[in-house]
Structure 1
């Protein structure tokens, strides 16, 4: 038996062309089999994705870490700057950071009687933020990291650029007595520019303009005390207290990233010392000069207007501000009063024209109107005018509704040169005659009333009361009579005779009551005010022979009787006049008021002829018919009348 043949697995071979292709089915690939190399490679999707993911993850993580580090670094930088700024004291902010120059100009915008004074202040301001947070360039140089840190800080300051500051009420007090508030200031929000590493000069400062509401204190005594202390020390030491300060980045009403910077400061207190500049013509040492020493009245005018009495004046005072300081003000109201035994009597309401500061003196143009004068206070105004017309200064009181409780005492200066009110005083048709134990005089008094320059008023002299010393010859130079007497009853009492009596004075003529007078305007000369002619008749007014002057009286009578042209009699005296000033508002008197002025001096001369001695003339006419002996006896009797009167008076005593 033959064993079965051994069948070995023969390797399969591919018939590349002799076999019929198999029929294609749905599972047959569209492409033929690839080479063995392509068939053995792994799919590319999984490995590529893993490598891309790794790379993206590395980039993301690196960026995140870098960003985190940057943010941390920036946060640390911001924290370092903010920490320095937050730890800066108010004194550091004010003394090292804030730089203020000025004010360069102050405009008074509005003045309210109760609200205060609105002013607009223009100045130059800047804030050295680099100095506060310590990022300014050091003159000695810094290390690399320090330079980088400072450079970033300066860049941040420049980016921030500005902050808005809103402050609460500022209280100004004296450093010597902080309990007394001198003034309060209501500031408005202001934008403060920021700077880092500014130059040494002031070119980096920014011009600002801000309105402020200023309310001065009503405690006038404390204000005057502060002014005196400041003048004594040469500077004004002031403390400023601010309750709250709100600082916000950016300009007012700005909406940006800058608003993220916000800080509030409270209870800020700082000391200020303001040097008092020298005032021309006023020594820096000694007591505080009074306003009367500072104010010069250049002109003063009062004139009758339609139904009123108006005033106009021009005054100057030294400009105490530095030349770089400018001030403009609107019209400022004032009330002028006259002191009295009770309350001051308001007599005029005036206001200044808007003015600016000028060097070396400020010029004030003043205008106003005389106020209604209470009848009970007319004597106060009469005394004022009497002193003024007599060449004497007057005390006045100045007040303003701007500061209701503030009053300032001033001296209203007398006119210069001293006015000569009564001029060309004479007595026409004067006659002297004996009547019982005395002589009486009659005649018509003529005078010219000339008001000082600037007083262009319409008035009427309705009554006069002369008090006259009569001299043998012209009135000697230097002779004076009757000091000024005020607050007199009506009519004024007779002033005492001068002691000693003036040389060659022998008689006194003084009516016992007012004399009715007539007056009318007459032309005035250059440099004079209104002028008026006044006449008054005297009838049988007593002629008093002065004590111890009988000899002078007899000498004068002898000249009249035996002289060919009579004799010259000098007259020296004072007069009281009652005047109606048109436009002076006395209540209930139709816009007119009568005032009595006393102590107005005058001097003059009159010619006394034989006909003036009327009683003696009648006696002489009869004596001519009875011969020379009778004439001689009559003359001797007349000449010795005064001597006999003196002897009888001595016996009576």
Structure 2
């Protein structure tokens, strides 16, 4: 029976394998069938599998999108948390709290153009405390919480990643009050960023940038600004910038940093620049003139083949700190002399050699040449007369006013003083009269002789000279000229070529021992003798004259006659470009003193008086003096002078 049942169970499987419906499971049905039949039974349908895969992908996508949105929102909020404080900071606060500038340490003048302005290259140290502006600097004393510290750390990390920004500004106007003192054309510059800088300046970065500066042509406004700045000890100016563009990264960099961009307009900030003191001149005193600051160390004039050249060395105090350097190219200047009419005559063109700053004084080497002098006009002084007056004052030991201008700043003229040489030069030396003779001529006296003098130019004047004419004005003394005797010229004493000058004023009181005055009525050609020049006995000095004549007549040796006076000299200066090709200058008021030996042969006309007694001689002298009394009680000569 069992076998029958077994056959019944097995035979269907053998006959109907794979062709009949699966039987319902019984309690004898195995839990795990064969591999192939199990796989066939458990695999889901294809559509169901695709639906399950699509559902999973949708879930991942939506989850990623939500997470990305949350991250973006978080990043945006984080960025806004940094940008919001920065957006509320005014440009003035940015300049005062964020931007740190030290210097300039060096300024190199690249080019100077009358129309283009002044190109300079400025080197300085600069940095931007971005952490302070957006408030992420570390401050352990503030007691920030954990999240605040994390927020600040991320901000500082972002600043370090950004590293620097590029700044491009429009024209900068520097204004004092309502007057624009200068405009500055900046070039784009990189400004490094720093988060949490140290307390010292070691974090600042060295930069070098060119600038174009155009100063105002309002010279009076500049002068007023300088006076006020000197009085206050500082210069207060306002800087106005039309637009400022800030972009992340270095100049020309194309990266994620360049996405960060900001633009400012109508930026204004106040600047106060301290004026350094000048040694010896406090700010409480008036602003010093350039004449007080410029010291002429040396001055040379020398003749060339067709020009008269100049060379000088001058110094000026350097108020800049030792850390500041400046280099300048050659600077041109024009030297002019003021005229009595109020205008000026250009005399010389000079230029400085390229120079740098030195301490305590800046040394300037100057060279140039005398300009061709224009011809005279009916309503103005002759340029040659103006130059003659300058040289006369200089050689007489007096200073001269000069005007200095530069083509780089039209309209700017600086008044300076050309200092006198020290000590006062002695141009005419070893002055004497050889073979001097004094003779009576009617009621007057005349003098003759040959004047010898040595012309010695001051140190530094190495010019070729030819003395063409002379005009002496002499006091004659009985004996040597006293050391304290003075006979200085005055303008009225100069010979006026348009007419006879008035009588020259004598010293009051007259020097001790002076008894005579000699002055020819006209110029004398050099290297000639004075023949019958008028000899005027000074007022009240008849006694001294008699004593001198007595020494000559009765003395065994020639009598010493001192001479004191001044002379005018007409000289040809080689290389001086005067109108018409000549180079003759008239130099007036050149002082001199000397001595003359007068023997018995020098008293022509008195020789016959030797055989008379002294009383008779005195009576003869008195007769000449009484007959010749003229103006002011003196003896007036007949003003006759011949030349050969």
**TM-score for the superposition, normalised by structure 1:** 0.88
Name the structure 1 match of 2:126.
125
Per-residue deviation at 1:113?
A: 1.8
Contact 1:554 1:640 in 2 (8 A): no
Q: 2:174 is matched with which residue?
A: 172
SS of residue in 2 equivalent to 1:443: strand
User: Contact 2:443/2:627 (CA < 8 Å) preserved in 1?
Assistant: no
State the match for 1:66 in structure 2.
Answer: 67
Paired residue secondary structure (1:405): coil
Q: Report what 2:619 is aligned to.
A: 636
CA contact (8 A) 2:538 2:634 kept: no
Aligned CA distance change for structure 1 residues 345 and 256 (closer, same or farther; 3 Å): same
> Residues 55, 497 of structure 1: CA spacing in aligned structure 2 closer, same or farther, 3 A cutoff?
same
Report which stretch shifted further, 51-60 or 507-516. 51-60
- How do residues 447-462 of structure 1 correspond to structure 2 at under 5 angstroms? 447-462=453-468
Residues 564, 21 of structure 1: CA spacing in aligned structure 2 closer, same or farther, 3 A cutoff? closer
What CA distance in whole angstroms lies between the structure 2 residues aligned with 1:264 and 1:503? 89
Separation in structure 2 between the aligned mates of residue 85 and residue 40 of structure 1, nearest angstrom: 68
SS in 2 for 1:163: strand
- 2:536/2:634 contact within 8 Å kept: no
Q: Tell me what 2:426 maps to.
A: 420
Q: Does 1:402 align with 2:401?
A: no
Counterpart among 599, 602, 620 of residue 609 in structure 1: 599
3-state SS of 1:404 partner: coil
Contact 2:540–2:633 at 8 Å: present in 1 too? no
Aligned residue for 2:319, secondary structure, equals coil
Distance change >3 Å, CA 95–CA 439, structure 1 → 2: same
Shift of 1:138: 2.4
Q: After the TM superposition, which of the residue ranges 212-221 and 51-60 deviates more from structure 2?
A: 51-60
Tell me, what secondary structure is at the counterpart of 2:268? Answer: strand
Contact 2:127 2:205 in 1 (8 A): yes
Aligned in 2, Cα 1:260/1:19: closer, same or farther, shift over 3 Å?
closer
Q: Choose 76-85 or 602-611, whichever is displaced more.
A: 76-85
Aligned to 2:447: 441
Measured in 2, the distance between the counterparts of 1:17 and 1:276 equals 118
CA–CA distance in 2 between the matches of 1:484 and 1:352? 37
Aligned mates of 2:81, 2:496 — CA distance in 1: 87
The equivalent of 2:504 in structure 1 is 495
Counterpart Cα distance in 2 of 1:17 and 1:267 = 99
Cα distance between partner residues in 1 of 2:151 and 2:561: 106
Instruction: Please list the CA deviations of residues 334-377 of structure 1 after superposition, one character each: whole Å capped at 9, or x if unmatched.
Output: 11111112321111111111111111111111111111112321
Partner secondary structure for residue 100 of structure 2: strand
Quote the RMSD (CA, aligned, Å). 2.6
Where does residue 288 of structure 1 map in the other structure?
287
**Secondary structure of 2:320's aligned partner:** coil
- The answer as to whether partners of 1:550 and 1:643 remain within 8 angstroms in 2 is no
Partner of 2:473: 467
Structure 1 residues 32-78: Cα deviation after superposition (integer angstroms, max 9, x where no partner)? x9799749824334555454444333322222111111111111222
Deviations 1:600-647 (A, max 9, x none): 111111001000011212x34xx85xxx57x96466313542244338
Alignment counterpart, residue 513 of structure 1, candidates 511, 519, 522: 522
Instruction: Summarize the alignment of residues 593-604 of structure 1 with structure 2, pairs less than 5 Å apart.
Output: 593-604=583-594
Residues 70-85 of structure 1 correspond to what in structure 2 (within 5 A)? 70-85=71-86
TM-score norm. by structure 2 comes to: 0.89
Which residue matches 2:4?
none
Partner deviation per Cα, 1:476-516 (whole Å, 9 max, x = no partner): 11111133427862278353111111111111000000000
2:483 matched residue in structure 1: 477
- 1:184 maps to what in 2? 183
Q: Equivalent residue for 1:95?
A: 96
Specify the alignment match of 1:355 in structure 2: 355
Kindly state the Cα deviation for residue 84 of structure 1 after the two structures are TM-superposed.
2.3
Distance 1:347 1:492, change over 3 A: farther
- For structure 1, the 5+ residue unaligned runs are 1-10, 24-32, 518-534
1:574 match: 566
Residue of structure 2 equivalent to 1:326: 325
SS of the residue corresponding to residue 375 of structure 1 reads coil
Per-residue CA distance 1:156-195 (angstroms, 9 max, x = gap):
2122211111111111122xxx211111111111111111
**Matched residues in 2 for 1:388 and 1:336: separation?**
16
